[in-house]
């Protein structure tokens, strides 16, 4: 006998998927090896999908053509439907305007080509059981556009090709896959892919494939990616798939963005996938589910909160410590590789999965509601120390709670409608105080240290099923109105005690394939068989009440098991026992007026099994009830109304007649009278840690107590913002800044911390983050505690300027020659800074000290190496800049220190002489002009010979320095070479001599006359 199989939210087992990939490979190999027929595709698995009804459609302007087979570039001929083109990128071959029936072969089959081609405005239909619409193999540079492919074995299949586009086609009503993109560098865009019996669009082992703007509806699968990488699925409408709208199987680095996804069995399924990016997708009655075998299948994704499930954000945490969501309006919660997770007072509806956690530690779900989840309500994979408490969960057809490979699990005081619990590979499981109706019951497989107690289950197929484990306790449960079995166990070291199994269509309590078990104090009323031992050994069955069973008991092993507890404890009560009680004693041979309540003859179960001491009445006039607490929330504020509940069970009484009363403070004083109302509300007036005690009482007056702790927190947490970076001036940072928020709450603990920047959207703080861009920002932040107290919003400005200012220099002056300025030079410096603003400018010349620049710098005569730099207000000091070349200034002309001749020159051969100096750029040369004559350059010589006539003369000597400054000197002189001239060479001596001689002669003549 078997229990329910384990549910895998990813859809199917790994072996199923390996088989599917193998079958696909075999199909493609068959196609490639053939001549256009698909062969094995005629044996497609029926997925229960009803395709859209399509009829062959001949579009206006189309002409009937036989199937086309092209096996090389040379086959692009008119006989093969080519109506134009030369096969180049700018002039591709065109196959267009044809109506093709694929009843005899695949409609268009193109292989092993590199020429550019387009298939356009073609209809392919009526494919036989092994004929595709279009098949491209080892093809490049192809484009399939605006074609209609319907009612074939498959639609458009592109295999082992590249650089192929499938655009704007109608691929509908085919019996297999619609479009296969089993090739790299493909574009699948703007197609209508509707009503195909298998996958709408499949990516297989391809990369750099873009699937966008397609309408993919009512296929078995919508878009299916297997073994692919670096693909993009964008802006598609994917809905109403009979299985999954999108499945990403063993693929890596896939981007799924801006799609409309809805009304499938699942929205997006991640199976063994890594590094999947999801953003901007909108789900309607769908969401995300995942499955994998390593942490990388869960904690490497990027799923942003702009993904919306029924209008609410999908929240994804990974690699985190300490996250709390309390009452947040979210569409789905995904958590991977995190610790200390608390989800409380959340509600979900019409999703595939509500809360999915993988590789988490110390995670709890409290007081949350999941309505109508398709695959799983709450799931934990590979996790430790997890709990679900006081929540209401409904799924169809999946599991309300799914646990896989987990340790230390607590499922307490929840309400279920659907498949209550599916757990596998669990150690230390407590399933307590839950109530449920309808669905698949509780299924636990491969588990150790399991306690299932105090639950009330009604209307399931199998109530409680625990298989392939050990050390299991099933007690104080009420299981009623089962369509299958009440309690099944195939675990060693099992205790089934004090349970009530009422109205089971099959067997009440079944133990199979186990050893060492105790079945005691149970009530089984109305079952096909009361208690069944099947391949079970070392089982003790005692003090049970078996009523109204078609067959009270069955045991296929005989004396290896015991059906009573010996004398005088006795065996079990059997309502169909027909013996009498007239005697007593171990051998029931002491007869008289005082019988012992044990039948005088054994109750025969079969030929080698019997109850030697059957009880004449149900054992125990009354047994105490069992109190199991339900509460939510367990932490609150002074305004919280704590909703408490108790789920009592009793072997004799039904829960509705058991009374309860409450002690809110645990002080020994009962605060409420006895009542049969099992739910109660209480609000505390003073903060504190309280112990709540509930006492239950059955109709016989027997009682039991249970207690739980409540934390009432009246003080909001306090959050501190820390900034780490290089501090500059004026509250600026001059480096990237790491922002860290730290909150403390002394009583209930910190729940969540929120922040926003510059009045934007509030975000949940996930950990330190860096501001690595410049600007002025205002951060607002606050925290809530687990109880729900929220602190007042705080704010803090953050100023970041990592860039130094930009400084420029302008040099103004009159340029002379040889890079010299011949006027004083004005150096003007300007600094700009886009963030904090310019602060100060510094300047220095010739390596001297830095001086603060206050006004333009004037450079007089000299040679200058000018350096400058700037600092912004934040304190960023920029690099030192320099004017590219020395600034050489010589604004002073040369100076003449002497010149000549002057006065009278008594020789016609005159030598002009001068001397000059220049302390700036230095003398470059001289020019001479005599008596307004031509200007003669004389180089650097300081004399100029000239032969001049007698008379007055003027010479101009011009000195030019290296900068181009000019100064002139005028030399005036007289040339007198007349020997009789008093200014002549002999100073007038000849003239005097002549005069004297004449005078002497005159005197002598006069004397003679006397």
The confidence band for 197, taking pLDDT boundaries of 50, 70 and 90, is very high
Contacts for 264-268: CB closer than 8 Å, 24+ residues apart:
264/222, 264/238, 264/239, 264/240, 265/11, 265/241, 265/352, 265/374, 265/375, 266/11, 266/352, 266/374, 266/375, 267/309, 267/352, 268/244
pLDDT higher for 628 or 883? 883
Nearest partner of 189 among 224, 222, 155, 213, judged by Cα: 213
Contact predicate 381/404, CB 8 Å: yes
The confidence band for 751, taking pLDDT boundaries of 50, 70 and 90, is confident
- Strands 63-65 and 609-611, sheet pairing: unpaired
Range from 4-13, 166-175, 985-994 that averages highest in pLDDT: 166-175
895-975: CATH architecture: Sandwich (2.60)
- What pLDDT is stored for residue 60 in this prediction? 54
Same fold across 629-712 and 895-975: yes
The confidence band for 372, taking pLDDT boundaries of 50, 70 and 90, is confident
* Ramachandran sector of residue 469 (left: φ over 0; alpha: ψ -120 to 50; beta: rest): beta
Count Cβ atoms below 10 Å from residue 982 Cβ, excluding itself. 12
- What pLDDT is stored for residue 985 in this prediction? 75
Q: Where are the domains of the chain?
A: 423-611, 629-712, 718-800, 806-889, 895-975
Mean pLDDT in residue range 127-156: 96
Provide the CATH number for the domain formed by 806-889 in this structure: 2.60.40.10
DSSP state of 560: G
The confidence band for 14, taking pLDDT boundaries of 50, 70 and 90, is very low
Residue 54 has pLDDT above 50, yes or no: no
Contacts for 60-64: CB closer than 8 Å, 24+ residues apart:
61/97, 61/121, 62/97, 62/98, 62/99, 62/121, 62/122, 62/123, 63/97, 63/98, 63/99, 64/98, 64/99, 64/100, 64/101
Total count of residues recorded for the chain: 1010
User: Is it true that the peptide bond before 397 is cis, omega within 30 degrees of 0?
Assistant: yes
- Strands 154-159 and 132-145, sheet pairing: parallel
DSSP secondary structure of 811-844 = EE--B-STTEESS-EEEEEEEE-SSS-EEEEEEE
Residue 12 has pLDDT above 90, yes or no: no
Q: How far apart are CA 683 and CA 664, in angstroms?
A: 9
**Prediction pTM value:** 0.67
Provide the CATH number for the domain formed by 718-800 in this structure: 2.60.40.10
Q: How far apart are CA 764 and CA 324, in angstroms?
A: 9
Rg of the chain over all Cα atoms, to the nearest angstrom: 52
Residue 933 makes CB contacts below 8 A (sequence gap 6+) with none
Domain 629-712 fold: Immunoglobulin-like (2.60.40)
Nearest partner of 416 among 480, 470, 359, 372, judged by Cα: 372
Using CB atoms within 10 A of its CB, is residue 816 exposed (0-12), middle (13-18) or buried (19+)?
buried
Residue 43 has pLDDT above 70, yes or no: no
Mean pLDDT in residue range 217-224: 96
Nearest partner of 273 among 243, 303, 255, 298, judged by Cα: 298
Report the percentage of the chain scoring pLDDT > 70: 92
Q: Which residue has the tokens 């009374």?
A: 659
Residue 960 has pLDDT above 50, yes or no: yes
Residue 786 has pLDDT above 50, yes or no: yes
Using CB atoms within 10 A of its CB, is residue 735 exposed (0-12), middle (13-18) or buried (19+)?
middle
pLDDT higher for 419 or 145? 145
Residue 25 has pLDDT above 60, yes or no: no
- What pLDDT is stored for residue 1010 in this prediction? 65
Residue 1003 makes CB contacts below 8 A (sequence gap 6+) with none
Q: How far apart are CA 137 and CA 112, in angstroms?
A: 6
Residue 867 has pLDDT above 50, yes or no: yes
Using CB atoms within 10 A of its CB, is residue 756 exposed (0-12), middle (13-18) or buried (19+)?
middle
Nearest partner of 953 among 919, 929, 986, judged by Cα: 929
Q: How far apart are CA 997 and CA 990, in angstroms?
A: 10
Mean pLDDT in residue range 94-116: 97
């Amino acid at each position: 006998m078997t229990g329910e199989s384990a549910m895998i939210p990813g859809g199917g087992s790994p072996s199923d998927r390996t088989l599917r990939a193998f079958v696909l490979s075999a199909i493609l190999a068959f196609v490639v090896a053939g001549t256009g027929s698909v062969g094995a595709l005629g044996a497609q698995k029926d997925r229960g999908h009803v395709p859209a009804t399509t009829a062959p459609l001949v579009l206006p302007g189309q002409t009937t053509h036989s199937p086309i087979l092209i096996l090389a570039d040379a086959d692009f001929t008119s006989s093969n439907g080519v109506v134009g083109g030369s096969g180049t990128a700018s002039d591709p071959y065109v196959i267009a305007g044809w109506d093709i029936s694929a009843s005899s072969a695949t409609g268009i089959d193109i292989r092993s080509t590199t020429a550019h081609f387009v298939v356009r405005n073609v209809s392919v239909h009526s494919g036989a059981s092994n004929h595709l619409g279009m098949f491209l193999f080892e093809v490049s540079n192809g484009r399939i556009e605006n074609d209609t492919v319907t009612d074939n074995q498959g639609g458009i299949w592109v295999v082992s090709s590249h650089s192929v586009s499938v655009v704007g086609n109608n691929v509908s009503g085919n019996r297999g896959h619609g479009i296969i993109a089993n090739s790299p560098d493909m574009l699948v865009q703007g197609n209508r892919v509707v009503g195909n019996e298998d996958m709408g669009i499949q990516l297989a082992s391809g990369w750099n494939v873009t699937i966008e703007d397609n309408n993919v509806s009512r296929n078995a699968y919508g878009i299916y990616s297997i073994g692919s990488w670096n693909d993009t699925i964008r802006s598609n409408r994917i809905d109403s798939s009979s299985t999954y709208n999108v499945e990403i199987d063993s693929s890596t680095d896939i981007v799924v963005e801006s799609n409309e996804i809805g009304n499938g069995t699942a929205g997006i399924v991640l199976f063994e996938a890594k590094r999947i990016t999801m953003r901007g997708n909108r789900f309607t009655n769908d969401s995300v589910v995942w499955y994998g075998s390593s942490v990388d299948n869960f904690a490497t994704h990027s799923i942003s909160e702009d993904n919306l499930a029924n209008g609410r954000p999908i929240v994804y945490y990974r690699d985190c410590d300490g996250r709390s969501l309390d009452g947040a309006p979210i569409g789905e919660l995904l958590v991977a590789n995190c610790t200390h997770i608390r989800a409380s007072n959340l509600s979900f509806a019409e999703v595939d999965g509500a809360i999915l956690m993988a590789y988490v530690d110390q995670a709890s779900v409290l007081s949350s509601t999941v309505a109508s989840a398709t695959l799983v309500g709450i799931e934990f994979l590979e996790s430790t120390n997890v709990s679900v408490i006081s929540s209401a969960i409904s799924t169809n057809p999946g599991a309300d709670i799914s646990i896989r490979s987990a340790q230390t699990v607590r499922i307490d005081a929840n309400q279920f409608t659907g498949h209550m619990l599916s757990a596998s590979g669990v150690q230390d499981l407590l399933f307590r105080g839950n109530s449920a109706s309808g669905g698949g019951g509780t299924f636990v497989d491969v588990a150790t240290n399991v306690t299932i107690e105090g639950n009330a289950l009604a209307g399931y197929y199998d109530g409680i099923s625990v298989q392939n484990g050990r050390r299991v306790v099933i007690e104080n449960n009420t299981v009623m109105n089962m369509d299958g079995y009440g309690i099944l166990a195939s675990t060693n070291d099992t205790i089934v005690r004090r349970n009530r199994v009422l109205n089971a269509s099959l067997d009440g309590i079944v133990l199979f394939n186990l050893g060492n078990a105790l079945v005691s104090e149970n009530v089984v009323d109305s079952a096909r068989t009361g208690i069944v031992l099947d391949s079970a050994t070392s089982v003790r069955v005692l003090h049970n009440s078996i009523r109204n069973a078609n067959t009270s008991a069955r045991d296929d092993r005989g004396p290896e098991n015991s059906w009573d507890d010996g004398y005088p404890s006795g065996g079990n009560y059997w309502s169909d026992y027909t013996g009498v009680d007239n005697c007593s004693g171990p051998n029931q041979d002491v007869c008289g007026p005082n019988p012992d309540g044990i039948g005088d003859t054994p109750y025969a179960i079969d030929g080698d099994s019997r109850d030697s001491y059957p009880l004449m009445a149900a054992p125990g006039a009354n047994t105490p009830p069992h109190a199991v607490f339900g509460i939510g929330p367990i932490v609150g504020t002074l305004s919280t109304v704590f909703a408490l509940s108790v789920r009592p069970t009793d072997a004799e009484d039904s829960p509705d007649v058991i009374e309860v009363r409450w002690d809110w403070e645990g002080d020994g004083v009962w605060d409420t009278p006895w009542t049969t109302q099992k739910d109660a509300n209480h609000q505390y007036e003073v903060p504190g840690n309280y112990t709540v005690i509930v006492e239950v009482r059955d109709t016989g007056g027997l009682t039991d107590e249970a207690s739980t702790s409540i934390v009432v927190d009246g003080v909001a947490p306090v959050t501190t913002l820390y900034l780490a970076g290089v501090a500059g001036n004026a509250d600026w940072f001059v480096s990237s800044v790491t922002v860290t928020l730290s909150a403390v709450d002394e009583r209930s603990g910190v729940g969540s911390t929120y922040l926003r920047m510059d009045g934007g959207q509030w975000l949940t703080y996930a950990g330190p983050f860096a501001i690595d861009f410049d600007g002025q920002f205002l951060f607002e932040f606050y925290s809530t505690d687990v109880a729900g107290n929220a602190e007042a919003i705080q704010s803090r400005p953050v100023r970041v300027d990592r860039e130094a200012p930009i400084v420029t220099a302008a040099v103004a002056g009159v340029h002379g020659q040889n890079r010299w300025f011949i006027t004083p030079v004005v150096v003007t410096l300007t600094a700009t800074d886009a963030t904090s603003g310019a602060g100060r400018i510094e300047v220095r010349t010739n390596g001297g000290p830095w001086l603060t620049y206050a006004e333009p710098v004037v450079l007089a005569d000299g040679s200058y190496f000018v350096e400058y730099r700037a600092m912004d207000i934040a304190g960023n000091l920029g690099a030192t800049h320099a004017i590219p070349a020395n600034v050489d200034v010589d604004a002073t002309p040369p100076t003449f220190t002497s010149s000549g001749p002057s006065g009278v020159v008594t020789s016609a051969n005159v030598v002009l002489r001068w001397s000059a100096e220049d302390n700036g750029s230095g003398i470059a040369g001289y020019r001479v002009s005599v008596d307004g004559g031509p200007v003669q350059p004389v180089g650097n010589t300081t004399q100029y010979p000239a032969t001049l006539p007698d008379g007055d003369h003027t010479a101009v000597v011009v000195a030019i320095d290296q900068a181009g400054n000019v100064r002139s000197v005028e030399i005036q002189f007289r040339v007198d070479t007349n020997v009789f001239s008093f200014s002549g060479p002999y100073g007038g001596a000849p003239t005097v001599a002549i005069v004297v001689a004449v005078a002497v002669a005159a005197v002598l003549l006069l004397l003679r006359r006397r």
